[in-house]
Every structure is written in structure tokens, then in C-alpha cells.
Amino acid sequence: MIIQSDRTTHVLLGIIAACGLWLCVRDASILGAARAQEARQPQAAEGGAGRPATANQPAAAPDGGDEVHGTILAREFALVNRNGKVRAALAMNDSDFPELILADRDGNFRLVCDVGEGGVPRIQLRDKDGSTSRAAWSMLADGSPYLGLYDKQGRTRVVVGLGHGESPGFVFSHADGKARAGISVTPDGLPRLTFGDAQGATRIGLGVYPDGMTRFELYGGDGERPRAALTLDTAGEPALRLNDGQGRPAWSAP
């Protein structure tokens, strides 16, 4: 019985090997025939209508001009999840500016990147409903970068950026949009803290001058010229000065 089983096994293995060899020869023949047929087929004319667009064969531009290599021309692309809900989009908005939008699981737009008027780039972070921007990183028209923080109504409350002369600063605003406090470093190196009134005019200023002198100032209603100034020089000597409406010294001590 053992000898008979071994003989049967050898026969079966021989049949399987023969079948495998035949399949390899058959596939090789089919593959060779297909390649030969492909080589005999005439090539489509350059830019012809029957020419397929593949990764190695660029598609013709829609306007009939030069070919666009590896480029797809469209006005909007959408990325959806398994349920068909849009999670990302790349499109031209109503003002003909490009936008990249990322949405949460509920389809609310939470992050928006665009390039607006004057070529100014902007990145917005929106609230959970996707309707109000709560933070934005952007640039001014002169190329100065800034970061804006907004309340639930979309009103600017905090701005961090580089102002005139590339001087850094923070501005804190009330709900009415008026600047009420700020801290900055002026172009000449003066660190400065300011407080404004309900109209946004500067009323109090505190700073340290480059020579080390400390200065405390009280401003008039216009917020342009200090009416009183208390200083302390590097030697520790205090001084008080009162100015008229034009900012000229009217009284001082010592």
C-alpha cells in the first residue's frame, strides 16, 4: 500500500508540473503575440482625437494650444468621504480667487486658505459651525505679516504683527472695534505700552527710551500730543513736564 501510494503521488506531481509548464508557455505566447500586435498598430497623429491621455502621454490643452504636461484644468475639485459628504475642496470663489477648504465630519468649513485682493494670502480658522472666522494669519498690502483673533461675532479683538518700520506689536480692541491697549517696539528700539479711550485715541503711554530713560505720558483727547510727562533718567533723577495744546513745554520741574 505504501509503494502504491508513492507511485500515485509521483504521477500526480508529474501531471501538475506538466500543466504548470504548459501554462507558462501559453502565457508567454499570448504575451508575445499581444506585444507584436501592439507594435504593428499604427500610431495616432500627434494631438489627434483618438490619442489617449496617460501619465506618459500629455493631454492636449482645451484651447488647442500647447500641450499641458501632467496638468488637469478645472475650476473646482471636491474630496468626499464614504458617505459622499464634502471634506475638502479646491476651487475658484465668486471673486475669482483660489481657495482651499477643509471641512469637519459634519461638513462645516473649519480651515480656509485663499489668496485675495492684491495677491494677499490668508489662512482662516473658523468656528464649529464654519460660519465665523476666529483666527486668521495674513499679510497687509505692503507685505507685513499679522495674526488676527476674532470674537464669536467675527469682530477683531487681538492683532499681532509687524507695523511701520518692521516694528512688532500687539493691539487689543474692544467689541466696538476700537483699539484700547497695545504693546510694541518702535523702529528706534523703544518698548512702549499704550492705553486708549472709547474712541481709540491714545491717552496713556509708558516706555523706555534707548538711552535708558523711563517715560510716563498723559495725552489729550486727540491722542496725538502728550499733555504731561513724568520721566526718570539713567541717574535716577525724576522730572515732570506739562505741555500746552500744541505739545510745547508750559511748565517743568525741576
Calculate the alpha carbon distances from 166 to 169, 194, 230, 238 in Å: 9, 18, 28, 32
C-alpha cell recorded at residue 125: 480658522
Q: Do residues 125 and 108 lie in contact, with contact meaning Cβ atoms separated by under 8 Å?
A: no
Residue-wise pLDDT tens for the chain (254 aa)?
333 334 433 433 343 333 333 333 333 332 333 333 333 333 333 333 333 333 334 444 455 555 556 888 899 999 999 988 999 999 998 888 999 999 999 889 999 999 988 889 999 999 999 999 999 999 887 888 999 999 999 999 999 999 877 889 999 999 998 999 999 998 888 899 999 999 989 999 999 988 889 999 999 988 889 999 999 999 999 999 999 988 899 999 99
3-state secondary structure of 169: strand
3-state secondary structure of 48: coil
pLDDT at 52: 33
pLDDT at 68: 56
pTM of the model as a whole: 0.64
Ordered by where they begin, the domains of the chain are: 67-139 (3.90.930.1), 163-254 (3.90.930.1)
Q: Do residues 169 and 183 lie in contact, with contact meaning Cβ atoms separated by under 8 Å?
A: yes
Q: DSSP code of 45?
A: P
